Structures are given as C-alpha cells and as structure tokens.
Amino acid sequence: MKKFALATIAVAGGPKGAAMVIGERVALLGDLVAAYPDSAIPPGASLLALLENWGAAEAALGHLAGAAEGLKSVTWHDCAAVHFHPPVDLPRQIFCTGANYRTHVVHLTVDTNAGPEGLSGDELRLWAEKMMDDRLAHGEPYVFTKPISTVAGPNDTLVLPANTAKPDWELELAVVIGKGGYQIGRETAMEHVAGYAIVNDISARDLIPRTDYKLLGTDWLRSKGQVGFLPFGPYLVPARFIPDPYDLRIRLSVEGQLMQNETTGDMMFDIVRQIEYISRYARLLPGDIICTGSPAGNGTHYNRYLTDGDLMIGEIDGLGAQQIRCVTANG
C-alpha cells in the first residue's frame, strides 16, 4: 500500500476539510473522491467519520492513495502552503498518560528534590531510578484527561495565559483510536489503534500543586487544561506505516536550542498497557487520542520556561513537525 497520511486543512483561507498527504504534498479528500468514481469514501467525510468505520475506510483510502497522483483534475498543494487544523477536529476524548518516561521522571525528581528527606544528588537519582523500576514491575499507568478546548492546530499561535509564570512543553507521541471498546485485553489492544500523531501537552508547572489544601494533590484542569494547551498534528499517520512506535525520535527546540531529544523507547508503560488500563474504566471511542507521555528535557530541567516570542519546533520521526509561536495573553 502506498504510504499516506491524513489531515484536516484549509487552502487559501477556505473552509477546512479532510485531506490526504503524500510526501510533501497534500490534496483535499473531497477533490480526490470526486476525481475517482470508484472510491468507497463518502463525499465530504471528515476524519472523525472515517475513524468511525476505520477498517473499511483504511482499505478505501489505500486504493485512493494508489490512484491519487494519476488523477489529473486534482490540485495538489505544498504542505507549507496550506493551514493545518488538528487532524481529528475535534477528538471526542483526550487521555494523557503522565510520568511515563523513565528519564523524564528521574530528572523531575532530582530537579525538584521530590524524594525522601535527606537525599540529594546521586543518592536521590538512584532512589528515583529504583522507584521507577519498581513502579514498572508492580504498578499501573497514571492517566488524566484534558478538555477538548485545549486542542489547537500544529502551527497555531500559543497564547501564554497571565495566570502562570512557568508555561512548559511536553512533546508526545499520540495514539489515535480507530476502533472503540471497553475493557480491552492486552492481546487485542493494538487492533484499536488507527494511527499516530504529534501532540504537545503544554503545562503550567506552577499551577500543578494545590497549595490551598495540599491533600488535593495535583490540579490538572488549571495546569494542563487551559485553552490551546494541546497542539495536535500536523497529520495522522496510519499505524501500518509506523512499524515500531517504540523506535521514534522525539525532538523539541525552543528558539533554536534543542531541549528534548529522546526516543519513544524510554516509554515505560507501553501502548498496550495504556489501552488496557484506560479501557478498564472508560469506554474508548473512535477519534479519541491517547497522549503517551513525554521524554526528558522539559523546562523544569533547564529552569527555562516559555516566554513571549518563543518559537517551538517539535518533530517525531515520520509524523511531521509543529512550529508554534508563543505570545503573552496581553502581547
């Protein structure tokens, strides 16, 4: 099957629509379907509609991709010349697996001195490494949700709210669900994955802990649930074209300085475990996304947070790139 990706785009300020990406070019899916009368894809179908019947849709998209470049009446655009919206616009549910990269958590523990009293430096690092090994052997994933209003396009401006002094980045591999289910077993979990994309789980670090009543612990709504705090895309790559989701390089730079540079191989609880755990308590739906955790190299580690004018560039092997300019809320 010819390799393709799926997106939601707007051309020259026009209405947004589902699109097919082949190489560095993109065409509206509606144009492709109109030029290929044998297509089984409904005219005007959104990516969410395709995901709702992903088994049949993927096969039809494969046939269309094979014929696409020979359809003379279709206009192809350079990817750089169109506006990418979130590929699934909008997902139904967003699940985020926290503290899921070993090195990331070890760094956070050391950087914030969050271990037992009296430990520091190498001793604290060793304690954190053992804690993560024990958690992987005997624990479970840790999952929270984000509101749909956090979703933004992959190149949209990120407005930094005035209520945080420490806006931070967390580039992540996103799993896009193509087959819903409840209480899914590990042996069939990957059958529910339609594909993969990039997300950036923007976090207000100073708003995570609740200080008014410490027993409440963390506050994910205010720290990770603010408007625009989940840039998503540029596109969805079907799972068949990503042979090993644990061998992808994740890179993020801020103003040209490389901050995150790790592979998905540092992920602790794998995608199978995450799907099993989430679906034990919630019903997964087509179009849902699972943010699988972020590697080391966040602003907390560098004591450097996002500020007005910063340009973030995030990329994951085979999944494209995001370019996001930051502005302050009153900037």
Give me the pLDDT at residue 15, please.
95
Give me the pLDDT at residue 301, please.
92
Give me the pLDDT at residue 49, please.
97
Q: What is the bridge-based pairing of β-strands 77-78 and 25-28?
A: antiparallel
CA distance 114 to 111: 8
Give me the pLDDT at residue 113, please.
79
Q: Which residues contact 211 (CB under 8 A, 6 or more apart)?
A: none
- The CA-CA-CA angle for residues 102, 104, 105, to 5°, reads 70
CA distance 61 to 269: 31
Give me the pLDDT at residue 110, please.
76
Q: Which residues of the chain have pLDDT under 50?
A: none
**Among candidate residues 64, 86, 47, 52, the one with its CA nearest the CA of residue 3:** 64
* Reported pTM: 0.95
Give me the pLDDT at residue 134, please.
86
Give me the pLDDT at residue 331, please.
54
Cβ atoms of 230 and 94 closer than 8 Å: yes
Give me the pLDDT at residue 24, please.
96
Q: Determine the straight-line distance between the first and last CA of the chain, rounded to whole angstroms.
A: 47
Q: Which domains does the chain have, with CATH numbers?
A: 5-85 (no CATH), 94-100+141-328 (3.90.850.10)
Q: What are phi and psi of 268, to 5 degrees?
A: -85, -70
Give me the pLDDT at residue 115, please.
80
**Among candidate residues 260, 324, 256, the one with its CA nearest the CA of residue 101:** 260
Q: What is the DSSP letter of 36?
A: -
Q: For 280-299, how does the pLDDT look when each residue is reduced to its tens digit (9 = 90+)?
A: 999 999 999 999 999 999 99
Q: Which two tokens stand for residue 245?
A: 């989701």
The residue with tokens 């976090």 is 203
